[in-house]
Structure 1
Amino acid sequence: MSGILHAVFFSPTHGSKKLALAVAWPLAQALGKELCEHDLTYPPGRAKKLCCGPDDVLLLAFPVYAGRVPRLLDGFLSVLDGKGARAAVMAVYGNRHYDDALLEAVDALQKRNCDVVAAAAFIAEHSLASAIGTGRPDDRDMELAGEFARHTAQAILSGHAGPVAVPGNHPYKELPPAVDIRPKTSEACTQCMLCASQCPVQVISEDDPALVNQGCIRCCACVKACPEQAKFFDQEPVLKIIAMLEEKCRDRKEPEIFTV
């Protein structure tokens, strides 16, 4: 087969990228396609328009935010030109639930003239609560990522049309009201500026990392990137979410795979 496999991922804390590439490499090999990576984590990547060809395959991977596709991807998805390309989606969540995110992603790609024939929900360590999904994706997750690649290749080579059936509801889960919560910075900060470079919305000052502008999405990229553990959230709403997760979401969830 000719064409390109477009591996598209938004991955502030790297879990979605790791899983996307674990699927993309064997999938590209199985289909005989060139692999092209599209990183949507930072604004320049999200500003580019992706135009697929009819022989192309699109793999979209993203972290689940409040049971939905991250709103930061709305602009990119709204101008995507699928041209009938086959597609697969991966929703990566922090061991709570993916709610309507998988369905929303399938719907979004179908609207952009992609034929979505496979989908999966995978687990990564929760960005806010490291005790939830600790160490994931792990070896078993990566093994299942390879299995998802095989199932997706089979679905594409079979010639069956999508969309793949996935769990979820219409209308989608209502998003919570926007709140202005920004990370704090302790005196341990050495001003290495790694946090600013890792912020997907670029709201951390490049002159003073303790200065954070409005617009934080609480992805925790800065928290996890800081070598001194100087970035943190301790606001009451965040602490309540962490307490809920630690009480109710410790039992291991397993990946789910769906194909036509």
Structure 2
Amino acid sequence: MSGTLHTVFFSPTSSSKKIARAVAWPLSQALGKELCEHDLTFPQGRNKSLHCTSDDIFLFAFPVYAGRVPRLLNSFLAQLSGGGARAVVLAVYGNRHYDDALLEAVDTIQEHHCDVVSAGALVAEHSLTPKVGTGRPDNQDLKNAEEFAHHAAQAALSGHAGPVTVPGKRPYKDLPPAMDIRPKTSDACTQCLLCVSQCPMQIISEDNPAVVGQGCIRCCACVKACPEQAKFFDQEPVLKIIGMLEEKCRDRREPEFYTV
């Protein structure tokens, strides 16, 4: 076996991880690469740097936030040393649209000396409401991801240079102003601390999980993890977004794949 397939994902609610793994295994088998995972979900993972070589494959999966790559991944990506590795990029979005996120990721990774030869945009259940993208990625999504892995392998072996052409515009869409909106906690909380362990920002107090520090990214990992449904958002800006999503974004969108 020559080289490593570095599977890198940020996945607060596990959707990006699930999709990354669905692509990584058949891709590694097709290319004869050893698998190595890099989980960026928690700060200790994001604080590490990654150095690839020209024999490696760099597979990057991330959730789309406001049509862009999550800002908290910027420091990790800034330290990426691509070394001429071939790369595959997967944007995972909540059935609305991925806007400029896939293009931004391709551009960024290409700038760090990876040759991006394949990319995909896949759907997951929206973090804010289970009524949008319900139950996704589902079995068909994972089957599509596996099929894409074989096309990505062919692209990696083809010798064609990247970057792959993907939808999106430059300059990328403006990010909305940062808002200090934190999850609330009802009296149903039993202080099991699951929310503490699942928060990718590690800002929920172990002494009192109703206390949430500044820096929430509204990934809803704590909301989805709570067995008592005690964590929630009911602030007006969040409710407006949920209302828009549930009104306009419930029709099923299908994965989109791109190769050189």
Q: CA deviation at 1:158?
A: 1.0
- Please give the residue correspondences for 1:42-53 in structure 2 after superposition, counting only pairs within 5 Å: 42-53=42-53
Aligned equivalents of 2:27, 2:156: Cα separation in 1: 10
Q: Aligned partner of 1:160: which letter?
A: H
Q: CA deviation at 1:52?
A: 0.4
Q: Aligned partner of 1:75: which letter?
A: S
Which residue does 2:21 correspond to in 1? 21
Q: CA deviation at 1:206?
A: 1.2
Q: CA deviation at 1:159?
A: 1.1
Aligned equivalents of 2:65, 2:6: Cα separation in 1: 23
Structure 2: 5+ residue runs without aligned partners? none
Q: CA deviation at 1:115?
A: 0.1
Aligned equivalents of 1:159, 1:70: Cα separation in 2: 31
Which residue does 2:75 correspond to in 1? 75
Q: Aligned partner of 1:53: which letter?
A: T
- Please give the residue correspondences for 1:69-218 in structure 2 after superposition, counting only pairs within 5 Å: 69-218=69-218
Q: What do residues 69-106 of structure 1 show as CA deviations (whole Å, max 9, x unaligned)? A: 00010000001000000000000000000000000000
Aligned equivalents of 2:72, 2:7: Cα separation in 1: 18
Q: CA deviation at 1:2?
A: 0.8
Over the aligned positions, Cα root-mean-square deviation in angstroms equals: 0.5
SS, match of residue 240 in structure 1: helix
Which residue does 2:246 correspond to in 1? 246
Q: CA deviation at 1:33?
A: 0.4
Q: CA deviation at 1:3?
A: 0.1
Aligned equivalents of 1:108, 1:207: Cα separation in 2: 39
Runs of 4 or more off by more than 4 Å in structure 1? none
Aligned equivalents of 1:162, 1:151: Cα separation in 2: 15
Structure 1: 5+ residue runs without aligned partners? none
Aligned residues: 260
Aligned equivalents of 1:33, 1:226: Cα separation in 2: 38
TM-score (norm 2): 0.99
